[in-house]
Structure 1
Amino acid sequence: MFILGLTGSIGMGKTSAVAVFRRQKICVFDADGVVHQLLEKNGEAVEMVGEAFKGVVIDCQVNRNKLGEIVFGDAGALSTLEEIIHPLVRNKQRNFLRSVVNHRQSLAVLDIPLLFETGGERNCDAVAVVTAPKFLQKIRVMGRGDMTETKFRGIIKRQMQDQEKRDRADFIIPSGLGKRISFQSIQKIIRIVLTLPGSHWPPGR
């Protein structure tokens, strides 16, 4: 099985790229979605997060707005949260990959926003980065209802620069040139990686 890491900074169009992979019947692991599940009502991380951050658990689920207010701009608090969340996400990721193998699929995509920042590329056979011009990125992000300029700058500061991600990527998916170009780029990536052998599954191989 070939493992393709998929990443990209906020507002770069990664969600749309994921949708294209899924329409091509490719199995995609959604790291952000898993985090949401861990924090929702009776999720696996709720109790541990509640113990670490008092007052964020309401009705057996983590209030993500309250949690965000605590960890935003506080490196220590963010590190504590990551120590809770990351091992759980990695476990879910391993279960996902086992499922892909059991269903005899040749390609799995790991959609991980902070792939390079967390060293996740070491578990991938190749990495594709979704990218767009900075002005378009900002327009997209600031169009979100809960976004502010301060919050946007904070998120960007935490993420690796887009240029560095592109330099480290094996494949580039442009999302600022129209849906057709993005679709063709993804189709080409799929065709290429399906001809390549994977070397990261099973773990320790």
Structure 2
Amino acid sequence: MNETIRPTTDTAQTSAWRLWIDRCGGFALLAGDRVSVGGARSDSTTDIQVRTDWRRCEGNVVRRNGDYFWSAADDQAVQRQDAGGQLLIDNSVFPISGSATLRLHQPSPLSRSAILSLDPPHRFDQHVDQVLLVDQTVLIGPSAGDHIRCTALDTTAVLVIRDGRWQAKLKPGATTAGLSRRTTRPQPVDLVPGRRVSIGELDMMLEEV
């Protein structure tokens, strides 16, 4: 994060954010049902940019009824109708020619949100480790069933987005280091862009894109 980020409680004017979690990493959060994918360019407006030999725009990921579909930029019929496309299931590899391998993961049956990851050594632009295609909730924790895996931390939490506003709360019954299992219902905490928030062992900050 090179630029100064000022906290704001204004209604979000974007459907894209970056989330920075100490001892865990950086994550792009995209809440739209249609996102474009391509190679990183300084003047590109593609939603998801990868540092590789891909074209400026390789295609689009579309979410319909909780499922994800890939439509290549060359498939004009699919692009016009916004229908069809190749179904992407858990651990699908995107059919994009080039040196980078992009995968889609859906780790939890409790959430329709998906993760996009790259095989090493390739990286996403903007210094993020993964891209999350968000459908209402994001699970954070150390287990394989979480969207954001923080293996160095014991805290398990849920992020929820409603009307462009984010909240975080510990999962019911979650434990944190040195604390016993909670018996009261966890209270949500607002994630205000530009303001650091701590919940359990999680220290994080949300940034509008």
| Same fold per superposition (TM over 0.5) | no
TM-score by length of 2: 0.31
State the structure with bigger RCO (CA 8 A, min sep 6), 1 or 2.
1
Structure that is richer in strand per residue: 2
TM-score by length of 1: 0.31
